[in-house]
Amino acid sequence: MTKPSNISHKVSRRAILKSGAAATTLAMLPLWAGRAEAACGTLRAGITGYNVINTLDPAQTTLIPESYVVWGVFNCLLKFDESMNIVPDLAESYESVSPTILRFKLREGVKFHDGVEMTSADVKFTLDRLRDDATASPHQSKFAPISEIRTPDAYTVEIETAEPFAPMLSYLTNTRTGSQIVPMHLLKDGTPDDFATNPVGTGPFKLTEYQPGASLTLAKHTEYFEDGLPMVDIVEIPLIAEESAGVTALLGGSIDLTSTAPFADIPDLENDDRVQVLKAPGTNTRFISVNNAVAPFDDVHFRRAVSMAFDRQAMVDVVLFGEGRTANGVVPNSISWAATQDAPAETMMNPEEALKELALSKYGAGTEATVLTWGSGWWKRFAEVFVLQVNQVLGVNFTVEVSDSGTVYQRKQAGDFQASIWGWLGLIDPDEYAYEIYHTNGSRNYEKYSNPQVDALLEEARRILDLGPRGELYRQAEALAIKDCPVLPCFESNVHNLLAPKVQGFVQRPYSGFGAQLAEVKDC
């Protein structure tokens, strides 16, 4: 066991020191050939593929790696288990009092990292803060349906929405929605400047160090409410920008665990006894986004022709190295109660039908269009594989334009595009996919699609709390929408974690969860 230490930036320091101690001088090195190892008690969990963290204030988080840390430092009222069931977290139970009122019973005796007890006042404060214009939270609109929050006593919270609003329950779980409970006593007079880099929550870990762009260190929250957790005392989190460097670091014994892994390496790593590969279907969707308002994608026949002119399984094989599955719609298959189960005809490669649809459209062979993409990795390949197939089948003349992701995003928001690759990751409720992409007023509807029948079904799905009938409404909405091909669903990728052979107890979450489940890691 190692003592918590307050020395900064010591990514894999123990590992190297332990190994380096055997070799006090470089000259002696050849005498020593031990593999670097972490003392148990310290878990070195690398965030790979990302290294920018701007804020750890849940109300302000926008980036995936920010969520990774926030999930370990805070709790929500509820959380998802590995099968994506909603289970208690800070709330030990909840009930639907009426279609518009959710009542939560809080655990008693939960302590923030500074020792102050968490009560219903903190829950009300957290949600009110998200809804407040002054907070300017990117998550504000998610909580706009709330009309009132009541706290009958210190351990009861009632959340009332103006209309029945089924997604609210998902929004209150530990995902990328900013609803992690923050301490009222520290923030009630305005958020101090340092809360973003010095957060205080109820989570299993508290932040002890942060070196921007380099590393974070977490220490066990000794008064955490779950008995026996966390099992590790210290979590060192190097921020490793390159996924491939994460693999190298793991194979070389510099870290114990990674947050992601490059698709291309998975087949090899699965046969490598120096590493455990965990994989599961991910909660994400990747599609070709087409601008329904401009030529040539303003013609439904042309969109259908394109949609049936490429093989999605070929994309999975070439782009993801087989690490994923074809998509039947925009709702990911891992949200099984709402996802379309059988591939619609419009999402299957069918050159004959595609050419028939092309003949019906006002555009023909030789039609030109630009497909936006970014980077040099699989996102670029995604666009190339799409364009290659469609040009071959339809005789059109699509080209790939490579830019950077920020620029592509800006152009999409401005409607300044014909087609682009696109995708959403780590959103949990089908509403966040189906409503936001297909609905006329959907906040992610960059395709400018509008269909009153689809809108009506999606609005109805927001009002039904029972998952069975609610999921059926999403399937009906998708079945209608997909006939118009407003977007061209392509594939869903697996989520991966790489672990050193000794690491035990890490349980994957399909929404790319990382952080919270580090509390359950036993051996490292």
Partner 1 sequence: MPSGLKYFLTRLGGALITMLVGTVVVFFVMKAAPGDPALVVLGDFATPETIARFNAERGLDAPLLVQYFDWLGGILRFDFGQSLSVSSGADIGELLAFRLPNTIFIGLYAMSIAVVLALILGTLAAVNRGNFIDTGATSLAVLGVSMPDFWFGYMLILGLSIGLGLFPSYGFIPASESIVGALHSGFLPALAIAAPMAAVFTRTLRTSLIENLDREHVTVAKSLGHSGRFRFVHHVFRNSVIPFIVVIGLQIRYLLGGVVIIERIFGVNGVGSLMVEAAFARDYFVVQACAVMFLAIVLGVNYVVDLICAALDPRRAR
Residues that bind partner 1 (CB under 8 A): 7-13, 15-17, 19-21, 23-26, 29-30, 32-36, 51-55, 62-63, 136, 138-139, 193, 196-197, 211-215, 238, 240-242, 245, 248-249, 251-255, 403-407, 409-410, 413, 424
Give the CA angle between residues 494, 497, 501 to the nearest 5°.
Answer: 135
> Quick one: 460 exposed, middle or buried, by C-beta within 10 A (0-12, 13-18, 19+)?
middle
Q: Which is nearer to partner 1, 211 or 476 (CB)?
A: 211
Taking the complex as a whole, the smallest distance from the CB of residue 493 to partner 1 amounts, in Å, to 17
Residue whose CB is less far from partner 1, 212 or 267: 212
Whether the CB-CB separation of 433 and 332 falls below 8 Å is answered with yes
Residue 43 belongs to what H/E stretch? strand 42-48
Q: Tell the smallest beta-carbon distance from residue 468 to partner 1 (Å).
A: 30
Q: What minimum distance in Å lies between the beta carbon of 197 and partner 1?
A: 7
Q: Which residue, 1 or 7, has its beta carbon nearer to partner 1?
A: 7
In the bound state with partner 1, the residue whose beta carbon lies nearer, of 331 and 394, is 331
Least distance in angstroms from the C-beta of 36 to partner 1:
6
Smallest gap from Cβ 404 to partner 1, in A, equals 5
Beta strands in 212-341 (DSSP E): 215-220, 234-240, 257-258, 276-281, 284-290, 324-326
**How buried is residue 495: exposed, middle or buried, by Cβ count under 10 Å (0-12/13-18/19+)?**
buried
Please, which residues bridge with residue 326 across strands? Answer: 491
Beta-strand pair 215-220/397-403: unpaired
The backbone torsions φ and ψ at residue 384, rounded to the nearest 5 degrees and listed phi first, read: -65, -45
Nearer to partner 1, 411 or 483 (CB): 411
| Smallest distance, partner 1 to C-beta of residue 157, A | 26
Contacts of residues 468-476 at CB distance under 8 Å and 24 or more positions apart, as own/partner, are 468/337, 470/166, 470/337, 470/338, 471/337, 471/338, 471/430, 474/331, 474/338, 474/339, 474/430, 474/434, 475/338, 475/339, 475/340, 475/341
N-terminal to C-terminal alpha carbon distance within the chain: 11
Q: Which is nearer to partner 1, 407 or 453 (CB)?
A: 407
Indicate the helix (H) or strand (E) that contains 318: helix 312-319
With respect to partner 1, which residue has the nearer C-beta, 96 or 211?
Answer: 211
**In the complex with partner 1, which residue's Cβ is closer, 32 or 150?**
32
Dihedral angle of Cα 330, 333, 337, 340, to the nearest 10 degrees? 60
Beta bridge partners, 104, equal 94, 157
Give me the least distance between CB of 255 and partner 1, in Å please: 7
* Helices 300-307 + 351-360 axis angle, to 10: 170
Cβ 301 to partner 1 shortest distance, Å: 32
| Cβ closest to partner 1, residue 319 vs residue 408 | 408
Question: Would you say 102 or 330 has its CB closer to partner 1?
Answer: 330
What tokens were used for 319? 């782009």
CA 501 to the chain's CA centroid: 26
Which amino acid, one-letter code, is at 107?
A: R
The answer to whether the CB of 11 falls within 8 A of the CB of 215 is yes
Smallest distance, partner 1 to C-beta of residue 409, A: 6
- For the beta carbon of residue 407, count every other beta carbon within 10 angstroms: 11
In the complex, the smallest distance separating the C-beta of residue 214 from partner 1, rounded to whole angstroms, is 4
Question: What percent of the residues of the chain are helix, what percent strand, and what percent coil, each to the nearest 5?
Answer: 35, 20, 45
Nearer to partner 1, 367 or 373 (CB): 373
Q: Which is nearer to partner 1, 240 or 305 (CB)?
A: 240
Minimum distance between the CB of residue 276 and partner 1, rounded to whole angstroms? 17
H helix runs in 208-282, sequence order: 243-251, 266-270
Residues 6+ apart with CB under 8 A from 295: 363, 418
β-bridge partners, 279? 496
Residue 55 beta carbon to partner 1: minimum distance, rounded to whole angstroms:
6
Nearer to partner 1, 401 or 523 (CB): 401
Q: How far is the CB of 249 from partner 1 (least distance, A)?
A: 3
